[in-house]
Amino acid sequence: MTTNRATGTLLVVLMMSALSTIPAWGGGWAVITLDALPASPQAGEALSVGFTVLQHGHTPLGGLGPRIVATHAESGERVQVEAIDEGAVGHYAATLVLPSAGSWDWTIRAFGDVAQAMPQIRVAPAVSGALQPSTGPVAPWILGVAAAALSVGGILLAFRRRYALAGVSVGLAVTLAAAGLAVSQPADFTAAEAAPVASSTGADLFLAKGCVACHVHRAVPESSDISLSIGPELTQYRNDPDFIARWLVDPTAVRKTEMPNLHLSPEEIAALVLFLNGADDS
């Protein structure tokens, strides 16, 4: 009887231990993938952030109420916003306004207590006195009509041999025509609009696309804290670029695997191929 009781107790303990692992392997982790690397905004400029939450990298999770927390790397200033469901199930959007220039570290907390780090955002100082677009489409049209009228008047004055006045009229016509052409052109881009995406490197994408949820890469320090090491460590991984590209386009088309299709763009795949093959090594 004592042996049976001990055996029964052991079985209960083993069952409880097994049940305790179910949240971790059944529903306890998810991958966050950014739609795209964020642009480099100016201080105070609204920045749109979109991302998808996938349970185990495959199943979209809606209704989560994710939270974005950004911290200024130098001052410690903190900004926090809630993301809302947008579009397909599991997709979220938020508007992030970073008030100060400098480097901002940020995370997304979407599933449980795990905060997934994202690539650092570099914010430019706010630019004052930037060129503004025309307040309406009528201004270039009015200038054009005035220039044409002055041109006709100049011709008529020339026929009457009033050459001095004709010259003034034609000069004004040219000036107005040039002004009309200038205001009809699009306004200059601000520095933030003209800048490429911030640090569009493979290391940033390794974070932004959620690779860190399953893999460790020592060039991405955050991966050591975030990764569940479900996939192999990729620090020393090297392979044929064409093979890596095909794998990233659709892993299951290459071989049977649990790795999800992250729906990467050709540019993102090219950057990740270079990164994984050590192009960023110093």
- Please tell me the distance from the alpha carbon of residue 158 to that of residue 151, in angstroms, as a whole number: 11
What top-level class would CATH report for the domain 201-282?
mainly alpha
The phi-psi region of residue 245 (left if phi > 0; otherwise alpha if psi is between -120 and 50; otherwise beta) is: alpha
Q: Which pLDDT tens digit goes with each residue over 139-186?
A: 565 756 676 776 677 677 667 777 677 566 666 766 756 666 555 554
The secondary structure element, H or E, covering residue 251 is helix 251-254
Tens digit of each residue's pLDDT, the chain (282 residues): 455 554 444 333 333 333 333 333 345 678 899 999 988 899 999 999 999 999 888 899 999 999 999 999 999 999 999 999 999 999 999 999 999 999 999 999 987 677 899 999 999 999 875 444 444 444 565 756 676 776 677 677 667 777 677 566 666 766 756 666 555 554 443 333 333 333 348 999 999 999 998 999 999 988 888 888 888 999 999 999 999 999 999 999 999 988 988 889 999 999 999 999 987 554
Tell me phi and psi for residue 181, to 5 degrees.
-65, -40
Beta carbons of 127 and 207 less than 8 angstroms apart: no
Distance linking the first and last C-alpha atoms of the chain: 68
Which of 2.60.40.10, 3.90.190.20, 2.30.60.10, 3.30.465.10 is the CATH number of 29-126? 2.60.40.10
Do 29-126 and 201-282 share a fold? Answer: no
Domain boundaries, the chain: 29-126, 138-184, 201-282
